Structure 1
């Protein structure tokens, strides 16, 4: 992610003494994102990613690292945190928590098709089920309480129509979150940020008969315990959308939801509130992008995302485009209901 904290080769070599990962061969910053300082790290033992956490505290970090370790142990392809000599999964670098995780194979697919969405949908459901016995519990830190605290800070920068949309949608979500229906939605550990640039696809030989193969999910540092259908909605809002208009693409939506439900079927309450969750997913990222755009932090390689993208998506979801209506969701209720 964006490099907020620079690290010299000498500092890295000294810090790496607490790891049994061999000698450093290559080390370079990753020039995208806005939350942490990430670096590709190659040693004589393998390829890794070093992350220095700019916001997360030492008290918060175990949830994320232990979640990745838990999922990796359940054969979900995610980065596996490397233990230090004392068995801990992170240490302090420049006074900030830092960790090393394995580097996944593959590259992001920034123009996903139906096949990519099928792979993502199935693996997302497997990830949700694998997290059911995870021992740690931490809420999604970018959910309703964060929206309520953050919205007042960005309202002064917005036009009247944007302020009305931001406040009216917040009221809608507050009412939903307070309902018995919302309380009944199943949930557990969620990625909460599964955009197309947070998954990798590995090269597949034509002889295998498969056109794509998911290499894995990464960047779990917005993860938290939330409603599973919210996690699906966040994913659909990115993987199945026309980036220029914010409109959903029906074939990709159907492919992702159909693949997800072959592993974990949806409940009736999830079906009823599918559009509400699409709206919640769009709202969460519109608020965070507004905050990063109008109240930025200094960074060596900071590239804030356009907040207008998720404003368009939220307006589309409120309008109820055809691919995002409850009908499209209910149509999948007769799918096979295996949980493997």
Structure 2
């Protein structure tokens, strides 16, 4: 959450008042991500997050905002976009598309344990099922077509061994996408970016309890298995090495499957989708790292992390059978 577009106290106050969200008390820029301008704002009514969209168009944005409203209506703990008197949830501020959502309680858990993974796995499955009757459709904008377009742009910045891996994995993913098993994967609205820092936990009776998913601005219509793979690549790995943590992986998949059992095609393609998830974020981090945009408080992520994760997923494929053998999942 970088700051590309500055918003003054007066501008924010007028904007929030127009949405009947109360009188502005504090305005603080956020530095946690890299796509949009974000501010934490507090009024005399409640805390909110104000977002100005820097890359997404006004045509694309209704999908994300309406998806959040749909999920919130179905009991999924997600930010609920504020509407104006006409019912619109997409607004404009300083010449940019803008939205305001309620700020979730709690904080992100950056060193998750088994129970955190269980809670996120179960809620991810609930989210997928809740989105089945969401009427809007929009492709995952960072899926295979974007990888094919972006890899040639970042290749000149890589060492030969990195370039070889990137090209080989892209070819493999194009091959996977041509298979009937891939075509048969269950699909719907996915978050596509549900990392540790996009989930909140609040302490309830002394126990960390999942309090929300947020930052849906990479969401799209895609295979649910890809969403699961993205999560496993962040929640269930050893960060320094990128290696899979079998106990956390088993807990996550077991909790997910207890809500929405996996199909035979999903079981077959889990290793390939884990590689796809690692590839997607390696490409996007290479793009952000080597072709950065100017922004106040910008913190680009190190792309070598997902290079390590991809190498691990290629060398040591994680299958459901491995998790069964660990007595973590029902056979």
Structure-2 separation of matches of 1:163 and 1:318:
15
Structure 1 residue 329: Cα displacement:
5.1
Kept in 1: contact 2:246–2:323 (CA 8 A): no
- 1:127 lines up with 2:121 in the alignment: no
3-state DSSP of counterpart to 1:238 = helix
- 1:328 lines up with 2:317 in the alignment: no
Correspondence for 2:111: 111
- 1:218 lines up with 2:220 in the alignment: no
Structure-2 separation of matches of 1:292 and 1:30:
18
Structure 1 residue 205: Cα displacement:
1.6
Kept in 1: contact 2:254–2:329 (CA 8 A): no
Correspondence for 2:310: 314
3-state DSSP of counterpart to 2:87 = coil
TM-score, L = length of structure 2: 0.97
Structure-2 separation of matches of 1:215 and 1:29:
23
Correspondence for 2:34: 34
3-state DSSP of counterpart to 2:204 = coil
3-state DSSP of counterpart to 1:20 = coil
3-state DSSP of counterpart to 1:212 = strand
Structure-2 separation of matches of 1:86 and 1:18:
12
Structure 1 residue 174: Cα displacement:
0.4
- 1:182 lines up with 2:182 in the alignment: yes
Structure-2 separation of matches of 1:90 and 1:41:
18
Please list the CA deviations of residues 96-148 of structure 1 after superposition, one character each: whole Å capped at 9, or x if unmatched: 10000011110000000001000000000000000000010001000000001
TM-score, L = length of structure 1: 0.94
1:235-246 → structure 2 map (5 Å cutoff): 235-246=231-242
Instruction: Extract unaligned runs of 5+ from structure 2.
Output: none
3-state DSSP of counterpart to 1:273 = helix
Structure-2 separation of matches of 1:104 and 1:22:
18
Structure-2 separation of matches of 1:326 and 1:17:
52
1:38-187 → structure 2 map (5 Å cutoff): 38-187=38-187
Instruction: Extract unaligned runs of 5+ from structure 1.
Output: 336-340
Correspondence for 2:257: 261
Kept in 2: contact 1:18–1:85 (CA 8 A): no
Please list the CA deviations of residues 148-171 of structure 1 after superposition, one character each: whole Å capped at 9, or x if unmatched: 100000000101111110111001
Structure-1 separation of matches of 2:329 and 2:197:
30
Structure-2 separation of matches of 1:271 and 1:328:
12
Identify which of 293, 299, 302 aligns with 1:297: 293
Structure-2 separation of matches of 1:104 and 1:326:
33
Kept in 2: contact 1:274–1:329 (CA 8 A): no
RMSD: 1.2
Structure-1 separation of matches of 2:270 and 2:137:
25
Structure 1 residue 17: Cα displacement:
3.7
Correspondence for 2:273: 277
Please list the CA deviations of residues 61-96 of structure 1 after superposition, one character each: whole Å capped at 9, or x if unmatched: 000000000000000000000101222102111111
**How many residue pairs get matched?**
329
Correspondence for 1:338: none
Structure-2 separation of matches of 1:333 and 1:114:
14
